[in-house]
Structure 1
Amino acid sequence: MDKPARGENVEWAPVSRLSGDQLKKLGAVGSEYPAPAGEVLFLAGDASYDFFVVLEGAAEIIDRLGQPEERLVAAYGRAEFLGEIGMLTGERSRFTGVMKTPGRLLRVPLQQIQTIVAQDSDLSECILRTFLVRRANLLRRGAGITLIGSRYDERCRVLLHSFSLSRMAVEWLDLEDRPEVEMLLRRLKVSLKDLPVILIPGRPLMRNPQPANIAAEFGEPPRAVDDQEICDLLVVGGGPGGLAAAVYGASEGLTTVLMDADAFGGQAATSSRIENYLGFPAGLPGAELAARGAIQAAKFGVRLHRHARAVAFTSEGGIHTVTCDDGRAFSARDVIIATGANHRRLAVPGIEAWESNGVYYAATVVEATYWRGRPVAVIGGANSAGQAALFLARTSDPVYLVVRGDDLERSMSRYLIDAIAADPKIHVRVRTEVVGISADSEVTGLEVVDRTSRLRSSMAVSAVFVFIGVTPCTDWLDEQLATDPDGFLLTGQDVAGPAGRRMPLPFETGVPGVFCVGDVRSGSVKRVAAAVGEGSAAVRLIFDRRGVDGVAFL
């Protein structure tokens, strides 16, 4: 990307200017001071930094300050504020803030901003919405983090998938089509065996990073604060159900830990827009719901742990322990499992080589931007496929919706069916099954067969988005909890408990004190609102369980 001229505002978002009343509120908790041109307000890599409002003059956000690749991210003037959502969620700063001209600033400590976001609805809405829009625009531009690796390297594809779920802005330099990358690697003294590598402004180069390294970049310790500590409630999985459980648990006074394998929000966070969630008639982006939920959880004191992938579960003497792949371990008297489900992989020969590089199991702004103006295929006939098709149709043309069934009516909500029918860019192919994929240096098409006539044909597409059902995320439990034939966890009266033991409560598994909510639960309704309701209800049942079993709170 060419370096823009200094002073050019390249932020792809409406600039939010604070009102007089809002400035007065912030002024009551902040301090004003004169700032000379060139003053550095915060550096890339800072783990914590304050909230700045420009009262006079101009400030800039710079990517890779002082490096050959330096570029301007945004410029701000009077009554405009600096920052983005990462400052509220514990991420390090990816950029440097600097005064462009002499001026005057209002500096508000981060702790005060966190209090304002939690208590002042007017300022909270203004700050959160602006921060979320800025993050979305960074995702489109790929600013902040650079990933160098090959599309054929499974480790690189795993990182790309993780960053996509985490909604981290990443610029990917693919060795296969970016010959200039070799010169960069030589300059960095990086050998091919060190790939993939991650470049983060203000931080040491990361060579072939592991989950613990990624977690550290979010300011998290490599292990739990105290391996011997036993909390009241451990929530495993940070989708809508897990977030709701954590918020309600902490708000009711339970010491609560929330852990997730990637980032909070689950599959809902990758949805471009959730249209049928109560109270949002215009819909809301899944990423916004996830960010607001995580901030609300932090408000009530939930201990948040991202990139904490559960690999083992033990239960002994009424204490349940979950161990992560990086060695962290969390123990609690009650556990709510909300690990959700992963999208089922498409069983087509050779497709694995193109996953996260032309074949995707989520449709986020990152993929939509990368395949702008090119033909894509969405495979599946349920709501997730319909939402993806509508989202991709904003940037790609055409969008083929490939459905095995006879129609969409059996598995998709009516509002989505009507919207798809009204979009001229979307072409629905029913009774069609994908049997092959073609590619050279990138995906070029699909081989499909008509399930009625058995005739084969080719479909020219540059990317494929797969939504063909889900499989539960329960492997880490090692069959210690009862499941249905498809692997989803049984709860309540569906569990055949041992003789002499009380019947499990609703949402409770066969192990007392271990509950299950959301998509991972057998018989659950796969909707965001249902998961939120189950998460809050499970917390209420924890109090009932302890009353019945005579278990005291810590």
Structure 2
Amino acid sequence: MAEHNLHSVAFPTLEQSLIDDLSRCSSVTTKTYRDGQTLFSVGDRDFKFFIVKSGEVEIVDHSGDQPKTVTVHRKGQFTGDVSHLTGNPAVVSAIARGDCEVYVVSGDVLRRILNQCPAAGDIILQAFIARRQLLRASADFTGLRVIGSRYSSDTFRVRDFLAKNRVLFTWTDVETDPNVDLLLKGFGVSEADTPIIACSSMLLLRNPSNRELADRIGIRRPVEQTLYDLIVVGAGPAGLAAAVYGASEGLRTLVLDSTAPGGQAGSSMRIENYLGFPTGITGSELADRAILQANKFGARLSVSTPVSSLMFDKTYPVLRLDGDETVTTKCLLIATGVAYRRLNAERCEQFEGRGVYYAATHNEAQLCKGAQVVLVGGGNSAGQAAVFLSQHASHVLLVIRGDDLYKHMSSYLAKRIEQTPNIELLRNSTVQRMNGDGHLKSIEIVNSKTGEKRTVETPAVFSFIGAVPRTDWLPPEIVRDAKGFIMTGPSLAQSPHWTGKREPFLLETSRAGVFAAGDVRSDSVKRVASAVGEGAMAVQFVHEYLKEV
């Protein structure tokens, strides 16, 4: 969407008739603010939504060196962005400029408006999405500051975590920024303290864990101690689909993820064969929209909330979380997906986060701009990554073990790779060894047919091989196949762990009321559309199960 059109979507003016409709279908009050009074501040949680009745409200960004005006809302315009739905803290402040009168709407009422008043709700939701897009694309918006070295695995971990959680931030590389010494001095730290996270002139954290970071910047929502109808473990396409359908159909739904929403698909820079997106969509955009949908219908998402084990209290599944906290549910959907397998190459582990990566997004592309890179894998994820990286790297070596690129990759993608001039395909090859001092400098590739060895200078290797299911936290009652994927369906009626009087539903595991969907399920089709379909289908089986209990 052109920036001019995006701006008009982001900052519309509601007609008085629409505002009157909102007042009729929900509880809306009015309030007067005097010149200079703050309506909400950056960092506030559960802040109100305001529609300007008279006067002006200035939206101010405090994240940079000096406060900056983002926009000024006038009569009929409104404050807010996607944080109202996600529950994350406000990223800007709102200040009255002159005396102003506003309509005041609480978060619960706003969600009701979005669901029950579509004429105004659609305008508001589209504006929220567009505003976040504008901030993300703005060169003037700083957001959080991450200061650290491109060769530090902790710096990469922090950047990766923030990016996956759609947090707005700016990275300063201590290796290349000429003003970094002055910047660090201003925060009272040295390079040895990096990575550091700051907001404006305030130092927040020094090399935090993901959990500490999530807690400090307010993106980790506490888990309410209540009995849920449905808990979904894993917020990839299957888990998010289940959250949308479960919450929209009235189920009290909680989604837990150890890192961030989106799953592996969330790191894809282009998904082209997903129904309804003929020009393709990034995994991040798809996840963003799914997260908003789930929140709009009242699902609760908690990230950086790893599940360590599963137990049972009579018929209810009980999940033990990090820190020995527990949460109980009537039904459980396991949608934890898979992880890429580590390359079987000497010194591979040593260079993870400092030359070896398991996703190819803008974060990783920043680290290898203009360089030669190596990508290992022959599936669609590897293919999309190769095409994306070819736009940033000088040369991409795509390494596959077999001799047929079309065997595991969609035809349209394999053809595109063959037609991209700076992608070179190495068939029948594997990475044998990695070399470097502190960070990756070169690798050794061997051809399995000829035995020929080749040394390649590169700062980055991207691995997209194999699939290891994330099921190591499950008890023996949840039957898995020889590779660790969760088995589901009627055949499990013969399992000693199945105690139901009927056969298991299609996506039900060996324990009644526990379901599995997406890549973690045995014999599932490893595609985004399939995962979404399974997540939606699982909710129907949840309803059927709940009729029994």
Same fold judged by TM-score > 0.5? yes
Compute the displacement of 1:410 (Å). 0.7
Q: Secondary structure at the residue paired with 2:8? A: coil
2:356 counterpart of 1:359: yes
CA contact (8 A) 2:187 2:202 kept: no
Q: Distance in 1 between matches of 2:529 and 2:349?
A: 33
Distance 1:113 1:520, change over 3 A: same
Q: Distance in 2 between matches of 1:17 and 1:245?
A: 33
Compute the displacement of 1:440 (Å). 4.7
Q: Distance in 1 between matches of 2:445 and 2:67?
A: 45
Report what 2:444 is aligned to: 447
Report what 1:344 is aligned to: 341
2:267 counterpart of 1:270: yes
Distance 1:306 1:238, change over 3 A: same
CA contact (8 A) 2:319 2:327 kept: yes
Identify the match of residue 429 of structure 1 among 426, 429, 452.
426
Q: Distance in 1 between matches of 2:157 and 2:276?
A: 36
Q: Distance in 1 between matches of 2:510 and 2:498?
A: 13
Q: Distance in 1 between matches of 2:14 and 2:391?
A: 35
Report what 1:4 is aligned to: none
Identify the match of residue 464 of structure 1 among 461, 466, 469.
461
Q: Distance in 2 between matches of 1:367 and 1:546?
A: 45
Compute the displacement of 1:501 (Å). 3.0
Task: For 1:48-87, list aligned pairs within 5 A.
Answer: 48=47, 50=49, 61-64=60-63, 69-70=65-66, 84-87=81-84
Q: Distance in 2 between matches of 1:125 and 1:160?
A: 28
2:404 counterpart of 1:413: no
CA contact (8 A) 2:160 2:363 kept: no
Q: Distance in 2 between matches of 1:25 and 1:347?
A: 65
Q: Distance in 2 between matches of 1:392 and 1:53?
A: 45
Identify the match of residue 45 of structure 1 among 43, 46, 55.
43
Compute the displacement of 1:206 (Å). 2.3
Identify the match of residue 383 of structure 1 among 372, 380, 386.
380
Compute the displacement of 1:531 (Å). 0.9
The percent identity for this pair of structures is: 35
Q: Secondary structure at the residue paired with 2:231? A: strand
CA contact (8 A) 1:402 1:433 kept: yes
Report what 2:169 is aligned to: 170
What CA deviation, in whole Å up to 9, does each residue of 1:415-455 have, x standing for no partner?
A: 21232233333332222221223335643333212222221
Q: Secondary structure at the residue paired with 2:531? A: helix
1:525 counterpart letter in structure 2: V
What CA deviation, in whole Å up to 9, does each residue of 1:179-218 have, x standing for no partner?
A: 8656555543457886543223497622443444334346
Report what 1:216 is aligned to: 215
Q: Secondary structure at the residue paired with 1:525? A: coil
Q: Secondary structure at the residue paired with 2:473? A: helix
Q: Distance in 1 between matches of 2:461 and 2:208?
A: 28
Q: Distance in 1 between matches of 2:540 and 2:73?
A: 48
2:392 counterpart of 1:401: no
Distance 1:87 1:316, change over 3 A: closer
Q: Secondary structure at the residue paired with 2:44? A: coil
Task: For 1:496-515, list aligned pairs within 5 A.
Answer: 496-498=494-496, 501-502=499-500, 503-515=503-515
Report what 1:540 is aligned to: 540
Compute the displacement of 1:340 (Å). 0.7
Task: For 1:7-18, list aligned pairs within 5 A.
Answer: 15-18=6-9
Q: Distance in 1 between matches of 2:439 and 2:391?
A: 22
1:411 counterpart letter in structure 2: H
Report what 1:281 is aligned to: 278
What CA deviation, in whole Å up to 9, does each residue of 1:377-402 have, x standing for no partner?
A: 22211000111122223333323322
CA contact (8 A) 1:17 1:80 kept: no
Distance 1:202 1:386, change over 3 A: same
2:86 counterpart letter in structure 1: T
Structure 2, unpaired ranges of 5+: 23-27
CA contact (8 A) 2:227 2:327 kept: yes
Report what 2:245 is aligned to: 248
Structure 1, unpaired ranges of 5+: 1-10
Compute the displacement of 1:358 (Å). 3.0
1:126 counterpart letter in structure 2: Q
Deviates more, 1:275-284 or 1:17-26: 17-26
Q: TM-score, normalised by structure 1?
A: 0.82
Q: Secondary structure at the residue paired with 2:242? A: helix
The count of residues paired between Structure 1 and Structure 2 equals: 532
Q: Distance in 1 between matches of 2:34 and 2:518?
A: 53
Deviates more, 1:160-169 or 1:230-239: 160-169
What CA deviation, in whole Å up to 9, does each residue of 1:342-379 have, x standing for no partner?
A: 11122222233332333211122222344333332222
